[in-house]
Amino acid sequence: MKRLSVVVPCCNEESNVRFFYEEFLKNEAFFRENDLTFELIYVDDGSKDKTLEAIKALRAEDERVSYVSFSRNFGKEAAMYAGLQKASGDYVATMDADLQDPPSLLPELYGYLQEGYDCAATRRVTRKGEPAIRSFFARCFYKMINRYSETEIVDGARDYRLMTRQMVDAVLSVKEYNRFSKGIFSWVGFKTKWVEFENVERLHGETKWSFWKLFRYALDGIFSFTAVPLSLVSGLGVFFCVLAFVMILFVVVRALIFGDPTSGWPSMVCIILLVSGVQMLCLGVLGQYLSKTYMEVKERPLYVIREEE
């Protein structure tokens, strides 16, 4: 008998926890036919509502449900990591609690693993129900990161995927603090089958991703998986050096030939402003990498558990 573990990160999902469980159980016939047992691991990521109570109630009814509860909100990345660590199955799936990742897709995903893939992952083909400006920035992000990073990051990829034990162990061995899962899943490699589906709107509650949170997440991705900002900044530096050199030549030659009238105040101020501005920007970029390095060097745990069962 093979075992399937399903990791469900939850942050303020009190009304979705049970719906998810019920929807998931609709696969029971499939599990029986394929000789599969399962465990459902809810990770309560510092919810402020009754999520934990809802999970405990399920746990009391069904032994196959287990949970990890954090001492505060550590973010979805940490929640997924904790779930993957707790998972003991031969196959492990990660999916959202809000039913945006339909559990009815599991049999299909499982089928691909039987065909020899190490991972079956989902991507949505439409961004229906999403603000236009968000889709626009998302597209730009994927274009830029795929151009400059050696790790491919698929546009529209969701965190809904089914993996073999081998791949999960590989993902767990990547212990970095600044986690960008979409990148890590792709970085570990293995044969991945992409399954496309239409975007579904979330069942209850609201998305936890504001535009700025997403923007910062995108920056995380860029700084974790590319060094482009660094080379861009070096390029900029070279460009300004050359420009300054040409200008100095010009000014000196002009002073020698035409004498030195005291003009050029405003342009001087502009140049100083511009150059110092660029320097600040470059320092900022360096600072980004430094702060990431700083967090990694501290080797803090990714999460703190308050209770688990």
Contacts to ligand UDP by CB under 6 A: 9-11, 13, 45, 73, 75-76, 79, 96-98, 100, 202, 207-209
What type of residue is 237? G
The whole-angstrom separation of Cα 190 and Cα 113 is: 12
Q: Does 202 bind Mg ion (CB under 5 A)?
A: yes
DSSP H helices, 43-158, are 51-61, 76-86, 106-114, 132-148
With H, G, I as helix, E, B as strand and everything else as coil, classify residue 32: helix
* Angle at the Cα of 17 from the Cα atoms of 16 and 20, rounded to 5 degrees: 80
- What is the chain's length? 309
The partner in contact with residue 168, picked from ligand UDP, Mg ion, none with C-beta cut-offs of 5 to 8 angstroms by kind, is none
User: Toward ligand UDP, which CB reaches closer, 121 or 282?
Assistant: 121
The partner in contact with residue 233, picked from Mg ion, ligand UDP, none with C-beta cut-offs of 5 to 8 angstroms by kind, is none
User: Toward ligand UDP, which CB reaches closer, 82 or 233?
Assistant: 82
Positive or negative torsion for Cα 225, 231, 233, 234: positive
The partner in contact with residue 39, picked from Mg ion, ligand UDP, none with C-beta cut-offs of 5 to 8 angstroms by kind, is none
Question: Structure tokens of 122?
Answer: 């989902």
User: Toward ligand UDP, which CB reaches closer, 73 or 288?
Assistant: 73
User: Toward Mg ion, which CB reaches closer, 14 or 98?
Assistant: 98
The partner in contact with residue 77, picked from Mg ion, ligand UDP, none with C-beta cut-offs of 5 to 8 angstroms by kind, is none
The least CB distance from residue 43 to ligand UDP, in Å, is 7
User: Toward Mg ion, which CB reaches closer, 44 or 96?
Assistant: 96
CA-to-CA dists, residue 94 to 41, 91, 175, angstroms: 10, 10, 18
The partner in contact with residue 11, picked from ligand UDP, Mg ion, none with C-beta cut-offs of 5 to 8 angstroms by kind, is ligand UDP
The partner in contact with residue 101, picked from ligand UDP, Mg ion, none with C-beta cut-offs of 5 to 8 angstroms by kind, is none
Query: Site for Mg ion (CB under 5 A): which residue of 34, 100, 178, 288?
Result: 100
Query: Site for Mg ion (CB under 5 A): which residue of 77, 98, 101, 159?
Result: 98
User: Toward Mg ion, which CB reaches closer, 128 or 300?
Assistant: 128
The least CB distance from residue 279 to ligand UDP, in Å, is 36
Q: CB within 8 A of 253, min separation 6: which ones?
A: none
User: Toward ligand UDP, which CB reaches closer, 39 or 96?
Assistant: 96
The least CB distance from residue 73 to ligand UDP, in Å, is 5
B/e letters for 113-126, b = 16+ CB within 10 Å, e = fewer, are beeebbbbbbebee
Question: Structure tokens of 163?
Answer: 């993996």
Question: Structure tokens of 46?
Answer: 């510092």
Name the nearest CA neighbour of 139 among 123, 121, 127: 127
What type of residue is 77? E
The least CB distance from residue 97 to ligand UDP, in Å, is 4
Q: How many helices (H) and strands (E) does the chain have?
A: 11, 8
Of 14-43, which residues contact Mg ion (CB under 5 A)?
A: none
Q: How many CB atoms lie within 10 A of CB 71?
A: 11
User: Toward Mg ion, which CB reaches closer, 209 or 239?
Assistant: 209
Residues that bind Mg ion (CB under 5 A): 96, 98, 100, 202
